[in-house]
Structure 1
Amino acid sequence: MHDIRAIRENPDAFDKALSRRGLSPVTPEILALDEKRRACIHTAETAQADQNAASREIGKAKANGNEAEFLRLRTIVSAKKKEVNDLQSEAKLLDALLQKRLAELPNLPYDDTPDGTDEADNVELRTHGTPPEFDFQPLEHFELPAVKQGMDFETAAKLSGSRFVVLSAGVARIHRALAQFMLDTHTTENGLTETWTPVLVKEEMMYGTGQLPKFGEDSYQTREGWWLVPTAEVTLTNIVNDTIIEESYLPRRFVAHTQCFRSEAGSAGRDTSGMLRQHQFEKVEMVSITKPEDSRAELDRMTDCAEGILRKLGLAFRTVVLCTGDMGAGARRTHDIEVWLPGQNTYREISSCSVCDDYQARRMNARYRPGGGKPEFVHTLNGSGLAVGRTLIAVLENGQQADGSVKLPEALHPWLGGKTTLTAEGQLV
């Protein structure tokens, strides 16, 4: 959500920033709607003043026995009352239209966010580690002998349809261990507060983080009106929804492990094999609530927290800055972390860390008191720390051996009861 006052003060800069996202100028339309709304409010206030003045004179006319003047003033009061009600109703309607239009617009990219139209224009920040070399042709995760017994897509399709999976035995335990490993690392080493939240939320919570109204087709809604969260970003960020918090509360850093649900609208034909793109998946999500002056540094901190998980697991990865055409609507700058997948011979996204400034806070009306003074909007950030299923894929593919087994990362051994290998038969040993 954008501040209409900022748009009024510098409409050309606003349109120029939006043009970097490929959008045509919007300020003439928005400012015309805003001007009409303000004019309506001003006229209503003038009519209200006239009504109040006439009301005061009615008592005098009545006391003086001036019946004609009394009737004239009463007619004026009645007419002004109707005029005020009509104008206030129109102003309310215009304000709703203005807020709807502002809510549809994406956030403005930072000046140093690279311009571009798609992922080909993203800019690499750094790489870590070296992709492993094999003396055999590496397989994708779902082709591995060690995995085939514990990753069942046919049964999942019978139960739920396409883009679901049933995990069992050793594969299921590795999946669970990864989530626990991530949570424990973030809470004990990175200072995040572990949080458990619902996966069903009210519509206003989805609006608060920007999933609604524009991106509703990407999520699922129940018959009762709840929405299934596409990420714990929705619940963690909305903890401060419609709240004024004290400055001492900040920064607040949350982490949660949840089920996530996405319709994958518009992804037909993409990543149909394996676990890369599912309707139901698990993610360890990080959310930070900060003071405005701290949010940019917090993005780097959050990115490092996510990268740290991959460093511990010994996985090669690269970090890129998303260009304006590939960045999510709510972000001003996004760092994607892409892990190396030998089976595909390429890097694939495993985490996305974004700083939103006050874009979400305005939608949520989330504020703080700097120095105990006048409330200001907080800044919000979110990032995957990490996507559990994709981390499972990376661990399996990078650890594959010529005999069909999988060697598991040393950092994960304590969460597997000391087990080090997934055998070709699918057993942890």
Structure 2
Amino acid sequence: MHDIRAIRENPAAFDAALARRGLSPLSSEVLALDEARRALIHAAETAQAAQNAASKQVGAAKAKGDDAEFERLRALVAEKKAEIAAMTAEADQKDAALRDMLMRIPNSPLPEVPEGADEAGNVELRRWGTPRTFDFAPKEHFDIAGVKPGMDFATAAKLSGSRFVVLRGAVIRVHRALAQLMLDTHVGDHGLTETWTPVLVKEEAMFGTNQLPKFAEDSYQTTNGWWLVPTSEVTLTNTVAGDILDEAALPIRMTAHTQCFRSEAGSAGKDTTGMLRQHQFEKVEMVSITTPEASLAEHERMTRCAEAILEKLGLPYRTIVLCTGDMGFGATKTHDLEVWLPGQNTYREISSVSVCGDFQARRMNARYRPAGGKPEFVHTLNGSGLAVGRCLIAVLENGQQADGSVDLPEALWPYLGGKRRIAANGDLV
């Protein structure tokens, strides 16, 4: 959420940041609402002062036996009380409207974020690995012979509808091994604290990490008001909601492996085959809570943590910085990792790592106290480390052989009891 004081002080900079995202100026609308709210508060305070003064005079008039003055002052007190109540209620309405407006405005991109209207404006930073040369036409994951017995879309559709999958046998073992490798690497090599969190959260948690109010249709809500998390960014980040942390406790670095749920409301017709885009999936998430001074360095560190998983698995990837028009709502800068999928003959997103500045912290009221100073808002960061299902797709497609079997990365062998391949008949061997 934006700082209203910063908008008051420099409305032109606020509008310029929105323009970089392709949005129209909003400072006039925001400030008009803010001014109306502040005017009502001032008027209520003035009326309160008049009420207080009249209240003091009521007793004096009574003591003097001046009944006329007594009645006039008593009526004035009642009038001011009613005015104050009406103005306070209206001010509260304006305040709620202003907060809702600010909640719906995306974060400002950092100056170094490249300008662009859509993904065509993204800028590649680096590549790792060389895509394998096949002596046969590589297939997409769901068409590989050895994968088909363990990837059942028909049964999932019978149970739940489209964009679900039932995984069995060798395929689900590889899926589970990938998640374990990610957690072990982030905890053992990268120093993140493994955390287990609920997948059902209160509405305020979704507001805190900017899924609400703007993106309600992208998530699922239960009949009793809980929300299913679209990612454990929601829970991990909100662990510090309402807190004032000691500066010495920062950075806080967490990782969690959870189920995630997304309605995919805005993706009609996209990736309808296979398990690239599902309503229910698993992800290993990374979240960091830092001081403002450390957040950009932490962003680079988190990007390297995600890249390290792909390198362990020998999967070619590229790292890009998203342009202003393709960046997520809450981000001020984002790196995407795209893994090579030979079945599609292209790179596809497998991780987004974003720094959000104090945008989420303001929504959550998450602060820290510098040594000897007043509380300030923390900076929050989040990133996939990685999306487990998409990583599974990449492992299967990059390891496929002409006979329909799949050679698995060496890093997974210890998690599979020494097994190294999915045979063409679907067995783990």
Q: What SS does the corresponding residue of 2:223 show, helix, strand or coil? A: coil
Alignment-mate amino acid for residue 394 of structure 1? A
Q: How does 1:234-383 map to 2 (within 5 A)?
A: 234-383=234-383
Q: What SS does the corresponding residue of 1:115 show, helix, strand or coil? A: coil
State the partner residue of 1:128. 128
Identify the range of structure 1 (284-293 vs 66-75) with the bigger mean alpha-carbon deviation.
Answer: 66-75
Tell me how far 1:373 sits from its aligned partner: 2.9
TM-score between both structures, scaled by the size of structure 2? 0.99
Alignment of 1:220 with 2:229, yes or no, is no
Q: Distance in 1 between matches of 2:373 and 2:59?
A: 44
State the partner residue of 2:79. 79
Alignment-mate amino acid for residue 205 of structure 2? M
Q: Distance in 2 between matches of 1:352 and 1:276?
A: 15
State the partner residue of 2:42. 42
Q: Distance in 2 between matches of 1:133 and 1:247?
A: 51
Alignment-mate amino acid for residue 416 of structure 2? L
- Write out per-residue CA displacement over residues 84-112 of structure 1, whole angstroms, 9 at most, x where no aligned residue: 11111111111111111111100000001
Tell me how far 1:301 sits from its aligned partner: 0.4
Q: Distance in 2 between matches of 1:47 and 1:374?
A: 33
Q: Distance in 1 between matches of 2:192 and 2:207?
A: 25
* Residue identity (%): 72
Alignment-mate amino acid for residue 31 of structure 1? L
Q: Distance in 2 between matches of 1:299 and 1:270?
A: 29
State the partner residue of 2:412. 412
| Structure 1 stretches of at least 4 aligned residues deviating more than 6 Å after TM superposition | none
Q: What SS does the corresponding residue of 1:360 show, helix, strand or coil? A: helix
Alignment-mate amino acid for residue 368 of structure 1? Y
Q: What SS does the corresponding residue of 2:146 show, helix, strand or coil? A: helix
Q: Distance in 2 between matches of 1:246 and 1:63?
A: 56
State the partner residue of 2:195. 195
Q: Distance in 2 between matches of 1:181 and 1:295?
A: 26
Alignment-mate amino acid for residue 358 of structure 1? D
Alignment-mate amino acid for residue 358 of structure 2? D
- Write out per-residue CA displacement over residues 64-97 of structure 1, whole angstroms, 9 at most, x where no aligned residue: 2222221111111111111111111111111111
State the partner residue of 1:167. 167
User: Structure 1: which 5+ runs fail to align?
Assistant: none
- Write out per-residue CA displacement over residues 121-163 of structure 1, whole angstroms, 9 at most, x where no aligned residue: 1000000010011111111111111101000111111111110
Alignment of 1:52 with 2:16, yes or no, is no
Q: Distance in 2 between matches of 1:273 and 1:301?
A: 34
- Write out per-residue CA displacement over residues 308-356 of structure 1, whole angstroms, 9 at most, x where no aligned residue: 0001101100000011111100000000000000000000000000000
Is 1:175–1:389's contact at 8 Å kept on the other side of the alignment?
A: yes
- Write out per-residue CA displacement over residues 364-397 of structure 1, whole angstroms, 9 at most, x where no aligned residue: 1111111153111111000000000000000011
Is 1:246–1:372's contact at 8 Å kept on the other side of the alignment?
A: no
TM-score between both structures, scaled by the size of structure 1? 0.99
Q: Distance in 2 between matches of 1:75 and 1:160?
A: 66
Tell me how far 1:240 sits from its aligned partner: 0.7
Is 1:247–1:372's contact at 8 Å kept on the other side of the alignment?
A: no
Q: Distance in 2 between matches of 1:224 and 1:244?
A: 31
> Between Structure 1 and Structure 2, how many residues are aligned?
429
State the partner residue of 2:158. 158
State the partner residue of 2:96. 96
Q: Distance in 2 between matches of 1:102 and 1:339?
A: 35
Alignment of 1:180 with 2:180, yes or no, is yes
Alignment of 1:147 with 2:143, yes or no, is no
Q: What value does the CA root-mean-square deviation take over the aligned residues?
A: 0.8
User: Structure 2: which 5+ runs fail to align?
Assistant: none
Q: Distance in 2 between matches of 1:371 and 1:21?
A: 36
Q: Distance in 2 between matches of 1:149 and 1:120?
A: 38
Alignment of 1:105 with 2:102, yes or no, is no
